[in-house]
A and B are shown apart, each in its own frame.
Chain A
Amino acid sequence: DQQVKQNSPSLSVQEGRISILNCDYTNSMFDYFLWYKKYPAEGPTFLISISSIKDKNEDGRFTVFLNKSAKHLSLHIVPSQPGDSAVYFCAASEGGGSQGNLIFGKGTKLSVKP
């Protein structure tokens, strides 16, 4: 049973527009959430995270929103750039922050068209 779900396998966006990647989770004990970006033939790279005590965290063009009641989080990229084209993984952990067992979703492939 998947505890972290990314229901959109792919997303295509025009350069300069907003990209919104979504993630749902089922385990109410998750208290720390992360987004990783992965290019082909490379390992995942940490992008941004959020603790369950917050509902928003921003870092430059990247903002993560957390809706605990809906068990939903989203990653907003504004403006989108061609270099953002990659697979984005949502991950969650219970009790260990980013040190714990990260439960990953299946990923969403983002394509940003010039």
Chain B
Amino acid sequence: EAGVAQSPRYKIIEKRQSVAFWCNPISGHATLYWYQQILGQGPKLLIQFQNNGVVDDSQLPKDRFSAERLKGVDSTLKIQPAKLEDSAVYLCASSSPSGGTDTTDTQYFGPGTRLTVL
């Protein structure tokens, strides 16, 4: 079974530029998550989708971050404009082959995109 795919793996940009990350979840997984992991910290949830609807985006800095999951499969996370403090690894995870009814469904993480903002 293929895992969660993310691209690009690395990205370096100047502050105030825009950047987008892409995630392809495990086939059949209804729930998709984006996490931000700053160096030395644990991952922090930015947004959670159930199919193509948003379940939780309370920690997403909506003035500069946006995310979408068209058709309930792939997702993109965008930062516009980027700040120095956005330097982090952005992790995508997916879960719920049961469609969200089993709360023990594991979250499977992709390898992440390492963003450096200069």
Contacts and interface: CB of A to CB of B under 8 A. Distances in A.
B101 to A, nearest CB: 9
A29 B48 CA distance: 20
B43 A101 contact: no
Interface-centre pick from A101, A103, A106, A107 (highest chain B CB count, 10 A): A101
A86 B74 CA distance: 29
A106 B41 contact: yes
Given A41-B111, A43-B91, A44-B109, A98 B104 contact: yes
- Chain B contact residues (Cβ within 8 angstroms of A): what range? 20 to 34
Interface in A44-102: 44-46, 49, 89, 91, 96-102
**Secondary structure class of chain A's binding surface, majority of residues:** mixed
Size category of the A interface is 20 to 34
Contact of A46 (B31, B48, B107): B107
A46 to B, nearest CB: 5
A32 interface: yes
Contact of A98 (B40, B103, B109, B110): B103
Contacts of A46: 106-108
A49 B110 contact: no
Interface of A: 4, 32, 36, 41-46, 49, 89, 91, 96-107
Interface of B: 4, 31, 40-45, 48, 56, 91, 93, 95-96, 100, 102-112
